[in-house]
Structure 1
Amino acid sequence: MNSIAVKYAERLIAHPSITPATGGVFDELEAILTPLGFHIHRFISGDAPDGPVENLFAIRGNNSPHIKKRHFAFAGHVDVVPPGEGWASNPFTPEIRGDLLYGRGAVDMKGSIAAFIAALHDINEDEGIISLIITGDEEGPALYGTRALIDHMRAAEQIPDLCLVGEPTSVNRLGDMIKIGRRGSVNMWVRVNGAQGHVAYPHLADNPITKLVAILGKIDALILDEGTDWFQPSNIEVTDLHVGNPAHNVIPAKAEARLSIRFNDLHSGASLSTLIGDIVSDGGGELEPIISGEPFLTPPGELSGLISAAIEKNLGIKTELSTSGGTSDARFLSALCPVVEFGLCNATMHKLDEAVATDDLEKLTIIYADIVRAALQS
């Protein structure tokens, strides 16, 4: 017989919720949470092209005016990336084959949401305040998702003491890695204008490609840092070059490049924008930076300690504390309280035939229950 977590995961996977997600998957989540005593607040944020985005904040338990209860939050997303073609079965028809549950979102991250909710079946309402912070816009631009939820929580004065994000952090086996921080991310567009002309008369034109290449050479020569105790070195990558010149005998009028920088806590998005902007400006170009998120670090302490203890108790392994990988919505939530990420194995996330081991869902449910109890009692 399938566990509660597996059944919940199947119910969530069955709703196609390609980012930005709205509607059915949130109806399902509300139907699951309401019988467990949660008060549900759903709202829509943003407009096209990056919206509208649906968000859900669910909370259970109230603070007495005489007794302050601990508030533990779980954050996640129900939006998924497009499934792509070539699946062995319908990506939005959950299917168990052998020991695996297949479906888009099984790992990233409807499975961990299902496990967390299943864990709450064994936790009484009077043990403390529990909330779920669920967005439909994590896989996309993330403009109208968790940021809007944070605004709602602040306005309602419902700030958690600790927050667990259920991203798939495990690598080779469940529990072998948790994330206590993430690097920041900034994308930059470099644009250089020139003057179009015939290649045989270069003195009558101004080649922007030459200037752009020189700018990129200076940027490529930068060494931002050597890393820190918890973060790997920051890196700059050129991710696109564009001229769009169809003629072999014409010097083009403009040239563009795109950069992506992943940076540690020795920098900020603003400081890097200034650094690169000065190089681009000196080379005759213009820079447009868009900061996706700043780096964050939750130093080893209470939250990582109780997560590590629950993993070791139930799985018999010592977890690795890491800041590797891409960004997540923890970068926003870190402004509220200590945040750590821990979830399922990430081997199949965003891939064809995404799948989670049903045994991992059951184990994760037990570990999450231990984490919640420890957090509410500490």
Structure 2
Amino acid sequence: MNKYEQNSEVISLTQALMRCPSVTPKDAGALDLLQQCLEEIGFTCHRLTFSEEGTPDVENLYARYGTAAPNFCFAGHTDVVPAGDRDAWSVDPFDGTIKDGMIFGRGAADMKAAVASFAIAAKRVIERSDGKFDGSISLLITGDEEGPAINGTQKVLNWMQEQGEKIDHCIVGEPTNPSEMGEMVKIGRRGSFTGHLTVTGTEGHVAYPHLADNPLPHMAAMVTALDNLVFDEGTEHFQPSNLEFTTIDVGNRATNVIPKSAQATFNIRFNTHHTLDSLDRTVRNLLDSVAADRNCRYELVSQKNSSPFLTPEGHFSGLVVDAIEKRLGRKPVLSTTGGTSDARFIKDFCPVVEFGLISQTMHKIDERASVADIEALADIYSDILESYFR
């Protein structure tokens, strides 16, 4: 960790991780570096490579200090998205350059700094207690969060269950703060349902429409009906569910040919008023009605991505809020907004919340994070651990 001369261990480790160009699904040495750091502290590490046909092999790491319960887990990922146009960056995206109090590079916000903060927080608590506290600390780190998310966290959790490894509470270190450190803790996430809709007609010449069946007006009617759906008005913790179209395609370049078919894809982000199966029924019933009115044919392929979840407010979320307020003087909002994360898998095994850095620059050119924010994050994680085991 001392290879790079910086002011603190957490910044040194963050830079070292960022200098591993671990663009998903490649590891590029990031897990080796983290494993070495954790083993020096006294963690027992398990490297887990998972495979599935049609997807790349992915390396993962599960590390644990101690054997007793309760087991407090930090979860995150070392894979990052591609750098994009490297000439547009003001720095090398894989160098971890520090300037003007900010660390620049891919993974600064999402989420190598949080992974480094996990390790340093654990080290501090272990050293301060001389390794004597009632419980265990673990890290679940995947290389597949930015990819298909097939050979990562979900399979690690299944492996843990087979090995009798139980986690009792978990923090995921995704960037949760919209604009200032300490603004927001995620205590749940909306579910995700994707629909791939195909409407089939009969191809023909535009001058002879009676000999064809144009699928485009049928598709337009179905798109309008779906767009007009009002699912709910939200809940105490969740915003209203929404459906958004992401593409409508015909692939017809001819101006005098009625196409045979049209395709559209939509995604529904939904709250706890619904389930994946109930949404599937709602959408199909609506499309059946439109198809019957218009005497047309359609096919819907449903992709049931994830269910919504909520970690109820209580002692666990209170520990996180108190640690943030202590360090930053700000009480965070408990929220379920935003996209999804690997917390959607962890929630089936234990209560989980998410707290990390500011999200404004993740996946962007010149992704960056404040050095002071990273150091504060490590302090907050340390405080949470100490309160948890007190």
**1:172: Cα distance to partner?**
2.4
Equivalent position to 2:344, from 325, 331, 338: 331
CA contact (8 A) 1:238 1:259 kept: yes
Q: Which structure 1 residue ranges, 5 or more long, are not aligned?
A: 64-68
CA contact (8 A) 2:177 2:184 kept: yes
Code of the residue aligned with 1:143 in structure 2: it is: I
> 2 CA distance for matches of 1:55 and 1:194?
47
> 2 CA distance for matches of 1:37 and 1:183?
37
**1:327: Cα distance to partner?**
0.5
CA contact (8 A) 2:95 2:105 kept: yes
> 1 CA distance for matches of 2:60 and 2:301?
30
CA contact (8 A) 1:91 1:104 kept: yes
> 1 CA distance for matches of 2:121 and 2:224?
53
SS at match of 2:300: strand
**1:47: Cα distance to partner?**
3.8
> 2 CA distance for matches of 1:219 and 1:172?
33
CA contact (8 A) 1:280 1:286 kept: no
Q: CA RMSD in A?
A: 1.3
Equivalent position to 2:369, from 352, 356, 369: 356
1:98 maps to 2:111 = no
Q: Which structure 2 residue ranges, 5 or more long, are not aligned?
A: 1-5, 292-296
The answer for the alignment partner of 2:78 in structure 1 is 78
CA contact (8 A) 1:277 1:286 kept: no
Query: Which range is displaced more, 211-220 or 269-278?
Result: 269-278
The answer for the alignment partner of 2:250 in structure 1 is 243
CA contact (8 A) 1:14 1:94 kept: yes
Give the share of equivalent positions with the same residue, in percent.
Answer: 46
CA contact (8 A) 1:186 1:289 kept: yes
Equivalent position to 2:65, from 60, 67, 70: 60
The answer for the alignment partner of 1:288 in structure 2 is 301
Aligned counterparts, 1:1-378, within 5 A: 1-47=6-52, 49-63=54-68, 69-85=69-85, 86-124=88-126, 125-127=131-133, 128-282=135-289, 283=291, 284-377=297-390
**1:49: Cα distance to partner?**
4.3
Query: Which range is displaced more, 224-233 or 162-171?
Result: 162-171
TM-score, L = length of structure 1 = 0.96
**1:321: Cα distance to partner?**
0.6
> 1 CA distance for matches of 2:53 and 2:334?
38
The answer for the alignment partner of 1:66 in structure 2 is none
Query: Which range is displaced more, 44-53 or 267-276?
Result: 44-53
> 2 CA distance for matches of 1:280 and 1:49?
31
> 2 CA distance for matches of 1:369 and 1:320?
21
The answer for the alignment partner of 2:294 in structure 1 is none
TM-score, L = length of structure 2 = 0.93
Q: Deviations over 1:348-367 (max 9, x none)?
A: 11111111111111111111
> 2 CA distance for matches of 1:174 and 1:2?
20
> 2 CA distance for matches of 1:288 and 1:220?
18
Code of the residue aligned with 1:31 in structure 2: it is: Q
**Hey, which bits of structure 1, 4+ residues long, moved more than 4 A?**
none
Q: Deviations over 1:188-239 (max 9, x none)?
A: 1001111111111112111111211111111112100000000000000111
